[in-house]
Amino acid sequence: MKWSEKDNIKLFLTQVTVIKGTNLTIKIRYFHMIILVNDGISKSGIEALEAAGFEVLNTNVAQQQLINYINKHKVIGLLVRSATQVTKDLIDSCPTLKLIGRGGVGMDNIDVVYAKKKGLHVINTPGASSESVAELVFAHLYGAVRFLYDSNRNMPLDGDSKFKDLKKAYSKGTELKGKTLGIIGFGKIGQATAKIALGIGMKVAYYDPEITSCDIELQFFDTQTISFHLESTTKQKVLETADFITVHVPAQKEYVLSSEEFNQMKDHAGVLNVARGGVLDEVALVDALENNKIAFAALDVFENEPNPEIRVLMHPSISLSPHIGAATLEAQDRIGVELATQISTLLK
């Protein structure tokens, strides 16, 4: 039997032969290999999955309806991002499920240990969005040191009537070159952030108990490279010496930055969190801002997503974005293709 490209979405036919006299009977059963993309995936990722022979359901199923949907469609692979919760109950209730994929780094919305105990493949894409997240750190950082987070709020309101007053209010910006960036957590994203910092002339101090030293290589457009050797220092030293501190750690049981850490920082330091909501104590942060201990903060993630606290959203010294660290076209393409490659390897 010859298969067309269109038929390739039906994979792995099983043949059962029965010989009756001189007649050969062939029974063919088709097994659809269906992947549910519940939180979105790039077009290139869908195309890569379909080219590999999978049927892709690219839809968003509400959490309370997800178990029924998976069972009804006999889904074997569930792809999520940060919104969908893959719990023990879901895993137990969906016997067709063979794989859970997370488009991104952190997997705190997936019961990873239990899924693996039940024999499911659990995959993610730890390196695909590193550059995008690192660039968002600096989008916030550049905006913060020139007060853009505040001027972009006030210019539409008072730019025509109080232009000179606003100009004076925002005229004490600082440069990043020569300043020290403190990085807590030095995995792929922390290292990508360090590359940008070093590239613009910043000093880098980092703390990571798992990565005691690291060689950072900067690659330039003309194929030239330069390497920097960095060594982990103590968390306290990072807090005491850095002009700006950015956190790049997975979800934690305890705060990584709270009142104690804010008190150890240099006066008027800046704090950034584009990692996970809950690694930074937002109440203590607001207190530090209002006591003028911290000059500004930048948050892409929040303790109470998707309903951040109004006190955080309305604070004039916090630069805000709605959890978009990995949300670039380039990163989404890499995530989609990387997931498709892993799925093809594991399930075919």
Catalytically active residues are: 276, 305, 323
Q: How far apart are CA 125 and CA 139, in angstroms?
A: 23
Bond from prior residue into 306 cis (ω within 30 degrees of 0): yes
Long-range pairs of 153-158 with CB within 8 A, sequence gap ≥ 24: 153/316
Axis-axis angle for helices 148-158, 130-145 (nearest 10)? 60
Nearest to 319, CA basis, from 160, 137, 77, 177: 137
Q: Which stretches within the chain are classed as H helix? A: 43-51, 66-73, 88-93, 112-117, 130-145, 148-158, 163-169, 188-199, 235-241, 259-264, 282-290, 310-313, 329-347
Which contiguous run of DSSP H or E holds residue 16?
A: strand 10-20
Helix (H, G, I), strand (E, B) or coil at 88: helix
Dmax over CA atoms of the chain, in Å, equals 99
The residue to which tokens 């799925």 are assigned: 343
